[in-house]
Amino acid sequence: MNKWILGARPRTLPAAVAPVIVATALVGADFNWFRAALALKVAVWLQIGVNFANDYSDGVKGTDTDRVGPIRLVASGLASAASVKAAAFVSFAIASVAGTWLAILTSPLLIVVGVAAIAAAWGYTGGKNPYGYRGLGELSVFLFFGVIATMGTYYAQTEEVTLLSFIISIPMGALSCAILAINNLRDRPKDELVGKLTIAVRIDDRNARRMYVVLLALAHLAALATLIPTTLITLLALPLSISISRQVLSGISGKELIPILGKTGKLQMVFAILFAIGLGIQ
């Protein structure tokens, strides 16, 4: 596989696609396909930019050395730090162009949101005091890949902010957090050694596993909290959630957790599609 595709980490992209699908379904028959496409472009390229930025920052800091998870470009020597950094900036630039276009069509406020999102993406592992090393990664992911991505997509098409658009953002944020949580659980022993204090490191292995299960449960409960009968269809994803949860709670670790990352991404897409159907046919 091409090294740049590997570096983009395709298994994490459901976290970018899912909020756009769900928010657009909530808009309903009056959805604006062009604005939805721009929102999708922002989300996907921002996610890719985050992945390249993390690869670069962790690589130059040495925290990706002797890693357990999928290969990283800088740490493995497949690409130079400068080229990976450039890939991150190019990705952010593509997201910025689409975001600026959306802002022109709707509100300049989206530019402020976009700048904040890029700053958060870089600051996760970049800079002198990365917040991802202090256990704040999950909070950032919940906000930017859950609340802001979902409500932003809805606002871009309707120019409205509603309580329901916030409620439907919660499952998207929870499942995006679950992707990061399983990644941090897998890397917990190595992260602890290099002083990367993720939540998984801070709350210990057992509680990190429990937190993952709570995130999946929160997604299902928040979908039901919409009080829209047709969103009960999301319960069709419950067997997959239970299966993955059992695997995580069984105590598997290291490389055994790598497939769980892909399964969590699959769960998010399945859940998002079911949720979108439920919202669309209400």
Q: How far apart are CA 29 and CA 179, in angstroms?
A: 31
Q: What's the rounded mean pLDDT across residues 97-114?
A: 92
Parent domain of 74: 8-280
In which band, very low, low, confident or very high, does the pLDDT at 128 lie, cut at 50, 70 and 90? confident
Calculate what percentage of the chain has a pLDDT beyond 70.
Answer: 96
Residue 238 forms part of a structural domain: yes
pLDDT value at residue 71: 72
Q: How far is CA 95 from CA 6, 16, 210, in A?
A: 20, 12, 34
- Total number of domains in the chain: 1
Percent of the chain with pLDDT over 90: 62
pLDDT tens track for 73-93: 887 788 888 999 999 999 999
Q: Domain for residue 264, yes or no? A: yes
Q: What CATH number has the domain bearing residue 259?
A: 1.10.600
pLDDT at 68 over 70: no
Report the C-alpha gap between 232 and 236 in whole angstroms: 8
Distance between CA atoms of 174 and 129, rounded to whole angstroms? 25
Question: Is there a domain that residue 2 lies in?
Answer: no
Position 3 confidence tier, pLDDT thresholds 50, 70, 90: confident
Q: Which pLDDT belongs to residue 10?
A: 84
Condensed to tens digits (0 to 9), the pLDDT of residues 151-206 reads 999 999 999 999 999 999 999 999 999 999 998 999 888 888 877 888 999 999 99
Residue 228 lies in a domain: yes
Average pLDDT of the chain to the nearest whole number = 90
